[in-house]
Amino acid sequence: MKIVVCVKQVPDSEAKVTASGGLISWGEAPLVINPFDEFAVEGALLQREAHGGTVTALSIGPESGKEALKHALAVGADDAILISDPALKKLDTQAAARILAAAINKIGSVEMVMFGRQTLDDGSGITAAQTARVLGWPMLGLVGHITLEGGSIQVSRVIEEGRQNVKAPLPAVLSIVQSIGEPRYPSFIGIRKAAKATIPVWSLADLGAPAPSVVVNRTDLITPPSREITCELITGDSPRVIAETLVDRILAEKVR
């Protein structure tokens, strides 16, 4: 079972993200593996533990951007590949999907590709589905549980209305959600191993892929007006008095 898990590095969730002159900055905040991708890595490791095989972490980014891959290695991925090319500075989701699909084809004999449900930065949550479409493989989105049987996979998809269970042949592309299990922490040995690992860097030429065309372009960045909220604490002699005062305040806001 050869599993590829696609990861991205993003500024830590606690970071203060600002825009200025069309550029996004997150100050001194560390870059970390996209938290949603941790579930994908966990899902991949669980499948490897159950069925054997290998887990390869795959990412697109600048050469400096290996934190997400190192995290995947530290928690147990067998190897990691970074796709990096000056021509990939500007990407939209479909361009990223075409590059990832080319890399997955180059890796070869891959049976499962796993993604997190979305990234913290762009947040579109559609690269997995587009990669599946480019590859021509089944797309199994928002997977919370996986059962493998012969050459087919059955998954439980976490949707608005509950869960939808579906079956498909392998190879397949999956996006993994939290129900898969709590992501494991890197071990001390894992961190040492990841720090020493040489992560191969593939260029577009290595992939034999042309620079993909980009159709979605950002024209402006907007900093939402910060909402200065002062909390008015409601007090009173009894829960009843507090509740009545609070209801009066809420109704006065005319929220409904």
Partner 1 sequence: MKSLVYVDHFKGLVQPASWEALGVAKSLGTAIAVVFGTGLDDVCNTAFEMGADEVLLADDASLVDYRAEAFASTLVSISTSQSPDLILLPTTTRTREFAAMAAVDLNTGVLVDLTGLVSEGGQLKATRPIYEGKLAEQVVCSGKPVIATLRARAFPRPSGDPSRTGKLSKVPARTESPTSLVGYEVAEQALSVSDASIVASGGRGVSNNPALTPPSGLDERGTEIWRAQQGFKLIGDLAAILGGAVGASRAAVDGGYIPYSHQVGQTGRVIAPDLYIACGISGAIQHLVGIRSAKLVVAINKDAEAPIFKVARYGVVGDLFEIVPALTEAFKQKRGK
Query: Which tokens belong to 75?
Result: 């928690």
Query: Which tokens belong to 187?
Result: 């071990």
Q: Which is nearer to partner 1, 197 or 242 (CB)?
A: 242
Cα 222 versus chain centre, distance: 24
Nearest to 97 by CA among 3, 175, 1, 14: 175
Q: How far is the CB of 200 from partner 1 (least distance, A)?
A: 27
Q: Which is nearer to partner 1, 148 or 234 (CB)?
A: 234
Q: Which is nearer to partner 1, 84 or 93 (CB)?
A: 93
Nearest to 53 by CA among 112, 106, 131: 112
Name, in order, each residue with C-beta under 8 angstroms of 82's C-beta and a sequence gap of 6 or more.
59, 60, 61, 63, 65, 66, 69, 199, 200, 201, 202
Q: Which is nearer to partner 1, 74 or 101 (CB)?
A: 101
Q: Which is nearer to partner 1, 28 or 232 (CB)?
A: 232
Q: Which is nearer to partner 1, 69 or 140 (CB)?
A: 140
Q: How far is the CB of 214 from partner 1 (least distance, A)?
A: 8
Query: Which tokens belong to 176?
Result: 């993994």
Residues 104, 114 contacting (CB under 8 angstroms): no
State how far the Cα of 234 lies from the Cα of 236, in Å rounded to an integer: 7
Q: How far is the CB of 65 from partner 1 (least distance, A)?
A: 17
Q: Any idea what DSSP says for residue 139?
A: E
Residue 251 has phi, psi (to 5 degrees) of: -65, -30
Q: How far is the CB of 25 from partner 1 (least distance, A)?
A: 10
List C-alpha distances in Å: 44 to 27, 34, 84, 212, 221: 32, 16, 23, 28, 35
Q: How far is the CB of 119 from partner 1 (least distance, A)?
A: 10
Q: Which is nearer to partner 1, 36 or 202 (CB)?
A: 36
Q: How far is the CB of 202 from partner 1 (least distance, A)?
A: 22
Query: Which tokens belong to 100?
Result: 């990832």
Q: How far is the CB of 27 from partner 1 (least distance, A)?
A: 12
Q: Any idea what DSSP says for residue 183?
A: P
